[in-house]
């Protein structure tokens, strides 16, 4: 079975601000001495793993990233509710419990401390938070919930052997794909099986300004706007590259071949259909991939980003058509020079060639 799966995806976005920098501007990168729009790999992965496609395909096998595990354990103890209800958003008091705030706080801190160093205890909820986001699997959440009930019944803090809550078996699919780092428990860190490049436009861009006004509906006496502002945006055809180490993903998922195939297929489908969520209400920047080239092989993976070192900036150019042509030529060049070419399959929505189901099945098998 081929070790590596690679995806080369072209997606067109009209006016959008998919991924903002610290000033609220669309992120950019210089490629081939020209400015391009960029979407960070972190933004892409967050959109994919949190999106409905991934969540539905891998229901019950997706992890939770949070700093607030200790706060939720504390609320479960003091409100008399199971942890799963609190995590689902239930903050209403349940059955009265004997635990007072101080013992519940100590229990919550001990449990949360398993997943990372806690913030300085200032007596507020912040003192129950983990300093860095912890990616917790469903199996680990279940273990925390069970220990919470044990502590509720005993009214005592957990013993050291009870705090062995971390799991390498029953790993969540998104943790297996994208990895996790636990500074306090390095042996339970997971090396990512999927690498995702920052997406960038295949042509140069200029970030544009949208000056806008809003009307005060109750102001009937004065003309003019109730509010003015500026929003920045850009548009373009983005190239996204993904590489998945099938063997490492299989290892991360405890040798579960069926789950490994399902995770790769879900990632492929999400990458082609789920957009980053930045400024969606302002721009409705939802898009499907127009083109996807999938490859399988054992040779060292390589991006085809060199296809776009020279931007597709000639006026009148069919950018999608030319981008597909550039990708094909670049792939053929690498295959000719290095040999050991991966097998491939693609779809092209503009030409009604191929389909997403076939590509997902191809990378998953």
Decide if 186 is inside a domain: no
Strand partners, 136: 64
139 and 249 part of one domain: no
Q: What is the pLDDT of residue 100?
A: 67
Same domain, 204 and 318: yes
Structure tokens at 66: 């949070």
The radius of gyration computed from the CA coordinates of the chain, to the nearest angstrom, equals 24
The reported pLDDT for the residue numbered 337 is: 96
Q: Would you give the end-to-end CA distance of the chain in angstroms?
A: 8
Give the relative orientation of helices 69-79 and 138-154 as an angle to the nearest 10 degrees.
Answer: 40
pLDDT of 224 above 80: no
pLDDT of residue 300: 95
Q: Which two tokens stand for residue 60?
A: 């019950």
Confirm whether 103 is domain-assigned: yes
Angle between helices 257-273 and 41-50 (to 10 degrees): 110
Ramachandran sector of residue 313 (left: φ over 0; alpha: ψ -120 to 50; beta: rest): alpha
Give the total residue count for the chain.
365
Residue 96 pLDDT greater than 90, yes or no = no
The answer to whether residues 201 and 322 belong to one domain is yes
On whether both 267 and 292 belong to a single domain, the answer is yes
Tell which residue, 294, 272, 201, has the closest CA to residue 7.
Answer: 294
Mutual angle of helices 69-79 and 101-112, in 10-degree steps: 150
In terms of domains, do 47 and 70 share one?
A: no
Query: Do 149 and 197 lie in a common domain?
Result: no
Give the mean model confidence (pLDDT) for residues 306-324: 94
* pLDDT level of residue 225 (50, 70, 90 thresholds): confident
DSSP 117: P
- Please report the pLDDT score of residue 40 as a whole number: 96
Give the pLDDT confidence score for residue 168 in this predicted structure: 78
| Residue whose tokens read 């140069």 | 204
197 with 344, same domain: the answer is: yes
Looking at the structure, tell me whether residues 294 and 351 fall in a common domain: yes
Using alpha carbons only, give the angle 173, 174, 175 rounded to the nearest 5 degrees: 90
- pTM for this prediction: 0.90
**Is residue 14 in some structural domain?**
yes
332 and 197 within one domain: yes
In the block, residue with structure tokens 């003019």: 224
Residues 250 and 317 both lie in one domain:
yes
Confidence band of 24 (pLDDT split at 50, 70, 90): confident
Residue 200: the pLDDT is: 97
- The pLDDT of residue 269 is above 80: yes
- Whether residue 289 is contained in a domain is answered as yes
* Residue 178 resides in a domain: no
Is the domain of 280 the same as that of 351? yes
40-67 residue pLDDT tens: 999 999 999 999 999 999 999 999 999 9
- From residue 310, alpha-carbon distances to 201, 240, 313, 330, 350 in Å are 11, 17, 8, 12, 23
In the predicted structure, residue 22 carries a pLDDT above the cut 90: no
% pLDDT > 70, the chain: 98
pLDDT band at 253 (very low <50, low <70, confident <90, very high): very high
* Alpha carbon separation from 288 to 19, 144, 229, 264, 276 (Å, rounded): 17, 39, 30, 18, 12
Q: In this structure, what are the phi and psi dihedrals at residue 257, rounded to the nearest 5 degrees?
A: -65, -40
In a domain, 222, yes or no: no
Rounded-to-integer distance, Cα 303 and Cα 306, Å: 8
The total number of structural domains that make up the chain: 2
Instruction: Please check whether residues 197 and 327 belong to one and the same domain.
Output: yes
Structural domain including 40 reads 4-61+192-208+234-364
**Residue 202 in this model has a pLDDT that exceeds 80:** yes
What would the mean pLDDT of 99-110 be, rounded to a whole number? 87
Q: What per-residue confidence (pLDDT) applies to 122?
A: 87
């Amino acid at each position: 079975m081929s070790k590596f799966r690679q995806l080369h995806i072209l997606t067109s976005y009209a006016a959008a601000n998919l991924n903002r920098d610290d000033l609220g501007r669309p992120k950019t990168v210089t490629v081939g001495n020209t400015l391009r729009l960029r979407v960070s790999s972190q933004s892409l992965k967050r959109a994919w793993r949190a999106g409905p496609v991934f969540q539905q395909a891998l229901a019950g096998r997706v992890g939770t990233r949070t700093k607030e595990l200790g706060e939720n354990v504390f609320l479960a103890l003091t409100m008399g509710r199971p942890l799963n209800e609190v995590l689902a958003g239930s903050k209403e008091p349940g059955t009265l419990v004997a635990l007072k705030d101080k013992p519940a706080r100590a229990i919550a801190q001990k449990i949360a401390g398993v997943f990372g160093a806690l913030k300085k205890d200032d007596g507020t909820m912040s003192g129950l938070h983990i300093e860095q986001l912890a990616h917790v699997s469903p199996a680990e959440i279940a273990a925390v919930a069970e220990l919470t009930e044990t502590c509720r019944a005993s009214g005592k803090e957990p013993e050291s052997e009870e705090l062995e809550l971390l799991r390498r078996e029953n790993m969540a699919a998104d943790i297996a794909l994208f990895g996790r780092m636990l500074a306090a428990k390095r042996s339970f860190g997971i090396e990512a099986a999927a690498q995702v490049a920052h997406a960038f436009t295949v042509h140069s861009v200029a970030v544009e300004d949208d000056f806008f006004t809003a009307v005060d509906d109750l102001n009937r006496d004065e003309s003019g706007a109730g509010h003015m502002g500026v929003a920045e945006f850009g548009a373009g055809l983005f190239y996204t590259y993904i590489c998945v180490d099938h063997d490492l993903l299989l290892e991360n998922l405890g040798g579960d071949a069926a789950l490994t195939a399902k995770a790769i297929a879900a990632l492929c489908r999400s990458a082609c259909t789920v957009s980053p969520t930045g400024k969606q209400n302002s721009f409705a920047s939802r898009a499907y991939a127009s083109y996807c080239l999938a490859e399988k092989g054992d040779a060292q993976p390589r991006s085809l980003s060199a296809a776009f070192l020279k931007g597709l900036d000639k006026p009148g150019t069919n950018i999608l058509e030319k981008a597909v042509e550039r990708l094909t030529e670049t792939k053929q060049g690498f295959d000719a020079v290095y040999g050991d070419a991966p097998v491939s399959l693609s779809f092209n929505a503009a030409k009604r060639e191929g389909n997403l189901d076939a590509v997902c099945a191809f990378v998953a098998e």
